[in-house]
Amino acid sequence: MASSSLLRLQENHISSFVFQEDTCRILRSRRIYFEEPHPYIINYLKMSGFYNASQVRRFVLLPDLISALIERWRPETHTFHFPFGECTITLEDVALQLGLPIDGMAVTGCSLLDWKDECQNLLGVVPPEEHLNGSRVKLTWLQSTFQHLPENASEKDIKYAARAYILRLIGGVLMPDKSGNLVHLMYLPLLRDFKLAGTYSWGSACLGFLYRELCRATIPKTHDIGGCLVLLQSWAWYRLPFLAPRTATAPVYPLASRWNSRKVHPGIPSGLPSIREQLDRLEYDKGMRQFGMQQSISEMPMNLDMLHKIDMRGHHDEQWLAKHKEWIELWDMRSQKIPHGYPIVGNDFKPSDEYRRWYMDEDHSLEILAHAFTSSSMWCIWDVVESYREWTCLDRRCTYGMLAHMSMT
């Protein structure tokens, strides 16, 4: 059994059920396909911070890979646990993979508004009842209604179309729920002023949403997963290059757009058992520290179990700005929360013996996931970290709070 001091949720974690009857639980996911944004709305996409993310338009998600990664995800620490140690998706990854703004105001507001009035004012039309599900609207209706703009479209109509496209991007790629065809209208008021929308930290909202979905998916009875799986999969392909497709396409910005395709990429590992095996072969002592600092023994993480349980059900009239005041204040103080550590010297990226002993003592789930292999083929992680640095002008700084790490422009 996992140590009660850290992995307190192991009993109901998917890794505990790996060798039981449900050994190959495959989470359901969907293809990502978006048309190129209309030239008329591009300026508004840039102004609001969504243009780069709109370049990730065709992406085939791999349920086997996603399911294998979920088995390694720990809700207690919001990190993946691999044989060499911990790593996670950071805000720097969000900025590089998706091009979303990460430094700005928290994305929050009120979920109790007259949504028909909001739609009339900000979209120019009220969705028919059959295309509404409470305070959510169907993505297919947004697409069919706003996809085509006439050459003589008014500036107001162009703004309507831009807001509809961003809503589709949020609900279809960046923060999709399990339905796969609905987006909450609570984001619409934040798009009233495109310049103001560009001052929000959409990247942190996207990452926080994904963290939440990853945590929920570790529960064995879960069969669907939401969140930005494009970010998860592209992150894995860059950070674990032995899992990535063989492609002659050079990295471009945002990095996830490199994989734009309507077909499954050839030459990639498939099948959950095969991917598990390759993850188990990750070389223990060559995990590059993500921010160029030596890995120290972690402090006991904050218990966020109650926050994990909060959702929109029964909270339709909630003032989220007030409810999450302490977390928003913590976010606003992010520049004062930058942790410091000892830099890695030379190419010595292996964790200390002290950390390795602590890590193996704490994470007994690795014993459950481990397989015995005789192959001498060992894999090294983070081979492409230097290429990451070529595509960003971000300072390599990190802070913590609910999201643990952050890079700032």
pLDDT tens, position by position, 103-138: 999 998 777 789 999 999 999 999 999 999 988 999
User: Band of the pLDDT at 384, cuts 50, 70, 90?
Assistant: very low
Q: What is the pLDDT of residue 377?
A: 27
Residue 247's pLDDT is: 79
- Domain assignment of residue 37, yes or no: no
Q: What is the mean pLDDT of residues 183-198?
A: 96
pLDDT at 255: 95
Within a domain: 351: yes
Q: How many residues does the chain have?
A: 409
pLDDT for position 298: 65
Q: What is the mean pLDDT of residues 30-36?
A: 80
Q: Which residue has the higher pLDDT, 168 or 361?
A: 168
Window from 5-19, 36-50, 120-134, 391-405 with minimum mean pLDDT: 391-405
Is 227 within a domain? yes
Residue 365 lies in a domain: yes
User: Which stretches of 48-135 are assigned E, i.e. beta strand?
Assistant: 58-59, 73-74, 79-82, 85-87, 132-133
C-alpha count within 13 angstroms, C-beta hemisphere, residue 365: 26
Q: For residues 64 and 372, give the distance between their C-alpha atoms in angstroms, rounded to a whole number.
A: 21
Assigned token pair, 85: 């140690």
| Residue-range definition of the domain harbouring residue 230 | 1-30+61-105+200-298+343-409
Q: Which range is most confident: 84-98, 120-134, 286-300, 324-338?
A: 120-134
> Which of these, 391, 296, 409, lies nearest to 343 by C-alpha position?
296
Average pLDDT, the chain: 80
Q: Please give the average per-residue pLDDT across 55-79, as a whole number.
A: 92
pLDDT of residue 261: 77
Whether residue 140 is contained in a domain is answered as no
Q: Once rounded to an integer, what is the mean pLDDT over residues 296-302? A: 69
Flag whether pLDDT at 284 surpasses 90: no
Interval 222-251 mean pLDDT: 90
Q: Is the pLDDT of residue 392 over 50?
A: no
pLDDT of residue 372: 27
pLDDT score recorded for residue 369: 42
Residues pairing with 408 in the sheet? 395
Residue in 301, 300, 295, 299 with CA at minimum distance from that of residue 354: 295
DSSP SS3 for 41: helix
Is residue 405's pLDDT more than 50? no
More confident residue, 20 or 82: 82
pLDDT at 336: 81
Average pLDDT over residues 159-185: 95
Specify if 15 maps to a domain: yes
Could you tell me if residue 154 is inside a domain? no
Q: Is the pLDDT of residue 316 over 50?
A: yes
**389 pLDDT higher than 70:** no
Domain count, the chain: 1
Domain assignment present for residue 192? The answer is: no
